[in-house]
Amino acid sequence: MGKFTENDTENFYGSQETDDFYRSFWDSDGTLHWGLWDQKGEVTYVQASQRMTEFMFAGSGITKDSRVLDLGCGNGNSSIWLAQKTGCEVVGIDLGEARIQNAKQKRQEYPSLKVYFKEASITNLPFEDNDFTHVWSQAVLYHVHDLKKGLAEVYRVLKDQGVFIFDDLVQPRKDISEEARIHVYDRLFFEGKYSHESYLNELKNLGFMVVQAQDISWHLNKSYQVLAEQVKPISAKTSLSYEKMCEAIDKQELGWSFFQCEKVQDRVEWVYSSQNEQVLEQRYNSWADKYETDLAGKYDSPRISAQTLVSHLNDKNASILDVGCGTGMVGEELYQLGCTNIIGIDLSDNMLEKAKEKGVYKKCYKRNIETEDVSLPKASFDAMISVGIFTYGHARPSAIDKLFSLLKVGGIFEITVRQDYLESNQEFKQVIAELNWNLKEKVEFTIFDNESMYAMVFIKVG
């Protein structure tokens, strides 16, 4: 059992006396979370606090059709703001009876909004499975003393491809000074279960795909610097504790992290549904650690595609460009077949790191083949291979023309595509029809039990 309990948190934060105290110097409207500061300009604490809310909202994907759970809603300000901003439905929960009553009273000022509040615990959410499109939380989860159970509850109530967006305090190092223990951890009823890195791993182990993870501790430090000055005329004791919190942050005894996660049950369809290159890059970055484990035994494209390419090579030392090399599965297959002169390019930093670890590529480069100059010499490759790159939610067929210029005359270009994509995408059909190459071979095979694929081998002509 932990040092603190839910009752400790509820008894302290749930009282009207505590709420009135914090309103006197944090935000008279009852908002109680830290701020995102502009390092160049001066803003007030309330403005910085609102900036953090807007930063979280910007990447959340919340729309009028969303159903949002606001964990630790406090006095209801963020819940009401989200509903005003988008027209979405919001359910706010909190342990504190006084704050739930305040939230319900404030909600009466907005009768048209779909906002509801109830007293509940994060570790035992009173909702059905797959009930919410989004779960939102600000400056709350460090108070949850069985946090792993609380995170599992979040996963349970989220719909498939639902978004969990939150910030939380973290403990960057295990050795904590006595001052930090008194002024930070004991004062906040915070047991410090996770560092930024272990928090990230816990989310992944629970099944979340983490699309953003940021250390924002500088902003926490700035928040408490400002608060220490604001509270000094009211409570010298609290001001001293806030100064000690700044010292703890400087010593890496306390930190602040931001995470954006998604609950994804079919990760292949998830990447296929990416709306743009930025989303695609985020999703592959978040999938890199478990990509090969998830696809093991089901995804045979790298092996079949590599074998097909090698069957057309006259020289195993041929220079090969692996387009969209990912974690290096194709490169690994080519290497096992005797090819040793392979360059890999990919959109995702994290996927490329996995590819580099395999030791089968001469070089790996981060490249966006749609929007960037590939920055490789023209007519420098004997062969090129792209497996699963020209498909739904990925690179547009127009990028093939850019890649084509990197291939020598007489060189081989293999493209592996889904059958339904080949047959339905008119732009892809037009591109491959217009380029100066000849189709040499078309190999049909199946992946994921019933998904038909083609490995298409073209020879570039003069």
Kindly report, residue by residue over 279-317, the tens digit of the pLDDT. Answer: 999 999 999 999 999 999 889 999 999 999 999 999 999
Please give the Cα distance from 124 to 330 (Å, whole number): 45
Please give the Cα distance from 38 to 219 (Å, whole number): 9
What is the model's pLDDT at position 4? 72
Same domain? For 232 and 318 the reply is: no
Q: Residues 6 or more apart from 372 whose CB is under 8 A from it?
A: none
Give the range with max mean pLDDT: 226-235, 349-358, 395-404: 349-358
Cα 393 from chain centroid (whole Å)? 17
2, pLDDT greater than 80: no
Q: How many helices (H) and strands (E) does the chain have?
A: 19, 14
Same domain? For 73 and 161 the reply is: yes
Same domain? For 347 and 442 the reply is: yes
pLDDT tens digit string along 383-420? Answer: 999 999 999 999 999 999 999 999 999 999 999 999 99
Q: For residue 380, give both structure tokens.
A: 């420098």
Q: Is residue 40 part of a domain?
A: yes
State the chain's mean pLDDT as an integer: 93
Same domain? For 76 and 195 the reply is: yes
pLDDT band for position 372 (50/70/90)? confident
Q: Please spell the DSSP secondary structure of 100-133, one letter per residue.
A: HHHHHHHHTT-TTS-EEEEE--GGG--S-TT-EE
Q: Please spell the DSSP secondary structure of 381-417, one letter per residue.
A: EEEEEEES-SSTTS--TTHHHHHHTTEEEEEEEEEEE
pLDDT band for position 27 (50/70/90)? low
Q: Is residue 313 part of a domain?
A: yes
Q: Is residue 285 part of a domain?
A: no
pLDDT tens digit string along 313-348? Answer: 999 999 999 999 999 999 999 999 999 999 999 999
Of the residues 222, 250, 265, the one at which a domain ends = 265
- Could you tell me the pTM of the whole model? 0.87
Cα-based torsion angle of the residue sequence 178, 184, 186, 189 in order, rounded to the nearest 10 degrees: -150
What is the model's pLDDT at position 43? 84
pLDDT band for position 1 (50/70/90)? very low
Q: Is residue 416 part of a domain?
A: yes
* CATH number of 380's domain: 3.40.50.150
Residue 332's domain comprises: 294-460
Q: Is residue 310 part of a domain?
A: yes
pLDDT tens digit string along 142-178? Answer: 999 899 999 999 999 999 999 999 999 999 999 999 9
CB 382 within 8 A of CB 316: no
Same domain? For 339 and 197 the reply is: no
Same domain? For 308 and 240 the reply is: no
Same domain? For 244 and 324 the reply is: no
Same domain? For 309 and 432 the reply is: yes
